[in-house]
């Protein structure tokens, strides 16, 4: 589990029940995120299925820069119904700082992979991201928090792609 995650009492019960049967393979959990003290059920943040119970042998984290991926010797065999409580962002400022950091890291990852974008990409992708999160993924049902999440996510696209364009300009020969 991540440091900002906690087992819900219902998930503890579910895991103990599964343990009685004999744990085998990889198990997924569904994270429910607390954002500034409010549980977020939409905005593309829920459901948020992650592998969290897996065999130690043969499992490892892979990837660089941003959000590594867990590689396991077996595909997930079970997804628990109860949730892991994910205490992610405690304030708007905290969210912005973390997203801005990851946006720059993602730009560096894209640059290393040779990805290029045109001058309108930062803004077009930001508009698309906001609409996707706030309208299509029903962020409006998360009220003000859903608006903030969609807005910060849209801004992150601007930061990410303008940083990528800057990296290409700075490294042009």
pLDDT in tens, 28-63: 999 999 999 999 999 999 999 999 999 989 998 887
| Mean of the per-residue pLDDT values of the chain | 93
Domain ranges of the chain: 5-88, 91-170
Cis peptide bond N-terminal to 153, omega within 30: no
Q: Please tell me the predicted confidence (pLDDT) of residue 115.
A: 97
Residue pair 109/29 in contact by the 8 Å Cβ criterion: no
Cα angle: 48, vertex 50, 54; to 5 degrees: 160
pLDDT in tens, 59-103: 988 876 677 888 888 777 799 999 999 999 999 999 999 999 999
């Amino acid at each position: 589990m991540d440091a900002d995650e906690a087992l819900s009492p219902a998930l503890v019960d579910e895991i103990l029940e599964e343990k009685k049967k004999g744990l085998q393979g990889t198990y997924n959990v569904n994270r429910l995120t607390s954002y500034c003290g409010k549980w977020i059920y939409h905005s593309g943040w829920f459901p948020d299925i992650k592998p969290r119970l897996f065999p130690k042998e043969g499992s490892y984290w892979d990837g660089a820069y941003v959000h590594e991926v867990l590689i396991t010797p077996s595909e997930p065999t079970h997804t628990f119904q109860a949730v892991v409580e994910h205490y992610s962002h405690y304030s708007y400022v905290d969210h912005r700082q973390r997203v801005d950091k990851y946006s720059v890291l993602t730009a560096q990852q894209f640059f290393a992979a040779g990805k290029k974008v045109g001058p309108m990409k930062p803004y077009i992708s930001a508009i698309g991201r906001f609409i996707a999160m706030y309208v299509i993924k029903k962020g409006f049902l998360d009220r003000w928090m859903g608006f903030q999440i969609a807005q910060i996510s849209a801004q992150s696209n601007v930061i990410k792609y303008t940083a990528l364009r800057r990296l290409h300009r700075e490294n042009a020969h």
